[in-house]
A = this chain, B = another copy of it.
Amino acid sequence: MSEPTRRPPSGAATLRADKTAAIAEAVLDELAEHGYGRLSMEAVAKRAGVGKSALYRRWPSKQRMVIAVVSEPTVALADPPDTGSLRGDVLAALHAVADWLTHPRFSRILPDLIAEAQRDDELRRALALRIGEPRRARMIGVLDRAVERGELPPDLDRELALDLLGGLVYWRVSARGAALEPGYFERAADMALRALDARPRRA
């Protein structure tokens, strides 16, 4: 998976896009190698080959920088295709979570940010607002389409359903560090469909 080229924030037309992209790469590399707690603006600037002022012209703080850089590809990775069936959409969602949690850099970055968020309420809120909620909003659209097709009950607990789709793969891959054996996705999708009380599509 490659990250799209980052663009400067709107209203900052004088910021060079190539520098922004280089800084974003450096942030992701530093996060993956050292984690949020040990990430310094100095190290990012040095790695990106820019001065520290180039960072502060773009983001007022380390936290804002990290959230901006991480949220863009992370939210994009959650963009679910509309396969036309709940089972297809659930399979796609499970694969997307697995791709994200086995990605060379994000496999380290996400668990690290979750750990830091337990000690830092402001970071926790920023992660929820800028990453968790946009990702969940997209997935709620998937569930709503299935409700419309009659494949899911209208009173589905959407929060629990989304916890299931994220947590199932997270627990296997990140918390346990265990393998996704052949047939995993098929069996996980079957379990998820039962959990969600899915029924055959209306003709």
Residues on A lying within 8 angstroms of B by beta carbon are: 33, 35, 37-38, 107-108, 111-112, 114-115, 117-119, 124, 127-128, 132, 157, 159-161, 163-164, 166-172, 174-178, 187-188, 191-192, 194-197
Count identical subunits in the complex. 2
Determine which of B107, B118, B174, B176 lies in contact with A132 in the assembled complex, contact meaning CB atoms within 8 Å. Answer: B176
Contact of A194 among B163, B172, B197 (CB under 8 A): B197
Determine the main DSSP class of A at the interface with B.
helix
Nearest B residue to A157, CB-CB: B187
Asked if A177 contacts B128 (CB within 8 A), the reply is: yes
Residues from chain B with Cβ under 8 Å of A107 in the complex: 118
Contact of A114 among B174, B187, B191 (CB under 8 A): B174
Would A177 and B117 count as touching, CB distance under 8 A?
Answer: yes
- Residues on the B chain within 8 Å of A196, using CB: 191, 194
Besides A159-B172, A192-B195, 15 more A-B contacts (Cβ < 8 Å) are: A35-B37, A37-B37, A108-B115, A108-B119, A111-B115, A111-B118, A114-B114, A114-B174, A157-B191, A160-B168, A163-B167, A163-B171, A166-B167, A166-B175, A167-B169
